[in-house]
Amino acid sequence: MRADVITIFPEYLAPLDLSLIGQARRRGVLDLRVHDLRDFTHDRHRTVDDTPYGGGAGMVMKPEPWGEALDRLVAGQASRPVLIVPGPGGMPFTQAMARELATEDWLVFGCGRYEGIDERVYEHAAHLAEVRVVSLGDYVLNGGEVAVLAMVEAIMRLVPGVIGNAESLVEESHEGGLLEYPVYTKPASWRGLDVPDVLLSGDHGRIASWRHRKRLERTAARRPDLLHTASAITSADLESVP
Ligand SMILES: CN1CCCC[C@@H]1Cn1ccc2ccc(-c3n[nH]c(N)c3C#N)cc21
């Protein structure tokens, strides 16, 4: 998988050099490139923003640097990427979207700042890429970089070869629509708190059933909205939770 990130704060993406994503980049499993939008400006001050037409507070990102960046990266290439532009008004970013994007060959992430990117950039980009405006959640950040860090991690960990043990992806939160089960490690007793006996039993059938039950109870308690669309549960499961 190739992924490009366009930003005015390339150092914000430095965490993508670390841990599993960083190792996958060094192993050549991920071809992740970060581009400074200011490298696509031509004035002395490397200007990327200007005042909004129609008035109002704040600044808007100028279309020219974005147009040049996208043309340089995408125009004339044999394949067409998915351009993901984070924004509070975007489609919700979900595990299902992460799974789908992990199957793409090429993703481009555009990190906006200020009051946003000139709308004509989205229109121009539609000739070069499949454009998706995606939101991390219903709260307001100052720019797209934090969202891209989260999205890149959520997507790239699903790319084959990035995580060594693919089995660990099976029963994690939101896989099958349920939250994750509680986990424990040594010591078996800690400050008077004991690991549930079933987990010490060695009975893998009982352990699997207990874990499924815990996922169900945790989802019902914290995210009841997920229950009716979860693929990992039966009608009997649904009737068994309050
Ligand atoms: C505050 N300021 C004026 C109102 C509009 C947004 C703007 C700030 N801003 C600029 C670019 C940009 C990109 C993403 C986000 C963002 N916020 N919340 C999310 N879930 C986000 C995502 N994903 C915010 C951004």
Ligand 1 atom with the smallest distance to the CA of 114 is 10
Q: How far apart are CA 232 and CA 230, in angstroms?
A: 5
Give the chain's largest Cα–Cα span.
69
Q: What is the three-class DSSP state of 79?
A: coil
The domain locations on the chain are 2-166, 171-240
Q: Report domain 171-240's class.
A: mainly alpha
What is the CATH code of the structural domain delimited by 2-166? 3.40.1280.10
Mean pLDDT by 10 residues, the chain (242 residues): 98 96 95 98 98 98 98 96 98 96 98 98 98 98 98 97 74 79 98 98 98 97 91 82 80
Residue 141: CB within 6 Å of ligand 1? yes
Residue type at position 186: K
Residue 143: CB within 6 Å of ligand 1? yes
pLDDT of 236 reads: 84
Residue type at position 166: A
Task: Look at residues 66, 73, 75 and name the one whose alpha carbon lies nearest to residue 127.
Answer: 75
pLDDT of 242 reads: 77
Residue 142: CB within 6 Å of ligand 1? yes
pLDDT of 166 reads: 64
Ligand 1, atom 9: closest residue by C-alpha: 143
| CA 152 to centroid of ligand 1, rounded, Å | 17
**And the tokens for 189?**
């007793």
pLDDT of 232 reads: 79
